[in-house]
């Protein structure tokens, strides 16, 4: 059984969807550790309520790599195989990325490479696109640049607000994150340059 490590900073709805799929047997893995850099993150409370192994590792005032060394040590201690960023509001240092090469996933609320970075849903609305969506990608040393594992598209409606578009995208996030985790755990993803291709 492979071990998952979840990193979050806030609400934790993606974490919750993953945890429910793990509990239901839909993801062949165990959640070995949930880390939050914010003590008051609702996702951290939820993980505690679910009886999972959690760690609050404060990031405030710490140098990026020093912080990442603490998190990597905790993940290694719990023998984590795959790290899932689930609303973790920090850019990882090269040290972190190299500690789990090709074994860190992130979910982004846009169809990358469109609208990377913060406020992706607002960027999509302002950009006037007719479709947006979400992307699960492998984390490399850039910001939202790594090989794409799964994507889902949703329409952008003329009367959408950031809230309504975000809600439509979030539903798809909850679905494709677990699907991408399964593909990774089953060894069905191979990296070819900048692309993640099916290893079947
Ligand atoms: C999601 O929109 C995700 O795509 C982005 O941060 C948000 C996290 O939401 N990376 P939640 O904490 O999983 O509810």
Domain count, the chain: 2
Tell me: do 1 and 95 sit in the same domain: yes
- The span from the CA of 180 to the CA of 83, in Å, is 12
Among the candidates 37, 66, 100, a domain finishes at: 100
CB of 107 closer than 6 angstroms to any ligand 1 atom: yes
**108 flagged as catalytic:** yes
Position in ligand 1 atom list of the atom nearest CA 16:
13
Is-contact 12 37, C-beta < 8 A? Answer: no
Tokens of 75: 């993940």
CATH code: domain of residue 177:
3.40.50.170
Q: Which residues contact 41 (CB under 8 A, 6 or more apart)?
A: 8, 9, 10, 11, 12
Tokens of 17: 């969807």
Report how far ligand 1's centroid is from the alpha carbon of 10 (Å): 8
Is-contact 59 84, C-beta < 8 A? Answer: no
Tell me: do 4 and 33 sit in the same domain: yes
Tell me: do 86 and 117 sit in the same domain: no
Tokens of 20: 């429910």
Tell me: do 31 and 122 sit in the same domain: no
Q: Which of 130, 107, 110 is nearest to 120 (CA)?
A: 110
- The whole-model pTM stands at 0.97
Report how far ligand 1's centroid is from the alpha carbon of 191 (Å): 25
What domain range includes position 23? 1-100
Residue 23 burial by Cβ neighbours in a 10 Å radius (0-12, 13-18, 19+): exposed
Q: Which residues contact 63 (CB under 8 A, 6 or more apart)?
A: none
- Residue-level pLDDT, tens digit, the chain, 200 residues: 999 999 999 999 999 999 999 999 999 999 999 999 999 999 999 999 999 999 999 999 999 999 999 999 999 999 999 999 999 999 999 999 999 999 999 999 999 999 999 999 999 999 999 999 999 999 999 999 999 999 999 999 999 999 999 999 999 999 999 999 999 999 999 999 999 999 87
């Amino acid at each position: 059984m492979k071990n998952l490590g979840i990193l979050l900073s806030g609400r934790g709805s993606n974490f919750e969807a993953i945890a429910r799929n793990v509990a239901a047997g839909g993801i062949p893995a165990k959640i070995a550790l949930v880390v939050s850099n914010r003590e008051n993150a609702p996702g951290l409370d939820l993980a505690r309520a679910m009886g999972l192994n959690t760690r609050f590792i404060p990031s405030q005032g710490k140098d990026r790599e020093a912080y990442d060394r603490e998190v990597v040590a905790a993940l290694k201690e719990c023998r984590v195989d795959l790290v899932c960023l689930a609303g973790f509001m920090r850019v990882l240092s090269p040290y972190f990325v190299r500690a789990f090469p090709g074994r860190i996933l992130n979910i982004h609320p846009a169809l990358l490479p469109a609208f990377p970075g913060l406020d992706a849903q607002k960027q999509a609305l302002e950009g006037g696109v007719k479709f947006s969506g979400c992307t699960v990608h492998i984390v490399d040393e850039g910001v939202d640049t790594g090989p794409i594992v799964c994507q889902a598209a949703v329409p952008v409606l003329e009367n959408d607000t950031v809230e309504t578009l975000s809600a439509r995208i979030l539903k798809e996030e909850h679905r494709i994150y677990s699907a991408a985790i399964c593909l990774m755990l089953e060894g069905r993803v191979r990296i070819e340059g900048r692309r993640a291709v099916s290893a079947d």
